[in-house]
């Protein structure tokens, strides 16, 4: 993985501290031995309830296992396909957004955000079922998360004249 350190630990950005972002390491989940499962669990977690978030992710992966033999590979594909490559940023003293390349850790965080926000959209089913559907759609390069990435790319292409 391109955003791992030497010990195969995933590096994710946390709060800015005096102008620089510190990275923190996460461990692979014990059942699937995947850093992506742990990162998704940490992103879904609310109010420190990690066991609830982990159960949701495991339920979603079990539902994915009905469609595919390797649900973790589907999650990996979904994160890869939902990963944006450019975003709009405000440059100093400019009143218009400028397209800029995204660093790997930021792109990874945005892809998780797209997947989770797409799953949270309609609340008529259990969250694990909605998450499994969003992961399955994104792994097949379609669905709401891919639409969010494409809209970000379209906005960057529209402002491409301002690129530095």
Mean pLDDT (the chain, rounded): 85
- More confident position, 3 or 45: 45
> Tokens for 95?
């009143």
Q: Is the distance from CB of 90 to CB of 98 less than 8 angstroms? A: yes
C-alpha–C-alpha distance, residues 79 and 13, integer Å: 17
Structure tokens at 85: 């490559």
Instruction: Classify domain 54-162 at the CATH superfamily level.
Output: Ribosomal protein S7/S5 (1.10.455.10)
pLDDT at 106 over 60: yes
Instruction: For Cα atoms 107, 22, 104, give the angle at the middle one, nearest 5 degrees.
Output: 20
Distance of CA 26 to the CA centre of its chain: 15
Residue 146, both tokens: 């891919």
Question: How much is the average pLDDT of 15-30?
Answer: 68
Q: What is the pLDDT of residue 15?
A: 47
Residue 12: band (very low, low, confident or very high) from pLDDT cuts 50, 70, 90: low
Given the structure tokens 């989770």, which residue do they identify? 116
CA–CA dist 71, 32 (Å, integer): 9
């Amino acid at each position: 993985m391109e955003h791992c350190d030497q010990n195969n630990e995933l590096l994710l950005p946390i709060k800015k501290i005096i102008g620089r972002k510190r990275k923190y390491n996460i461990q692979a989940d014990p059942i699937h031995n995947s850093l992506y499962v742990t990162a998704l669990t940490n992103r879904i977690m609310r109010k420190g309830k990690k066991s609830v978030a982990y159960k949701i992710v495991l339920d979603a992966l079990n539902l994915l296992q009905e469609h595919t033999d390797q649900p973790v590979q589907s999650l990996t594909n979904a994160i890869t396909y939902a990963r944006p490559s450019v975003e709009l940023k405000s440059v100093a003293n400019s009143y218009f957004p400028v397209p800029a390349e995204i660093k790997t850790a930021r792109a990874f965080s945005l892809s998780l955000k797209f997947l989770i926000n797409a799953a949270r959209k309609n609340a008529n089913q259990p969250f694990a079922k909605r998450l499994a559907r969003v992961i399955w759609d994104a792994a097949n390069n379609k669905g709401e998360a891919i639409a969010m990435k494409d809209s970000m790319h379209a906005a960057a292409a529209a402002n491409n004249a301002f690129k530095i």
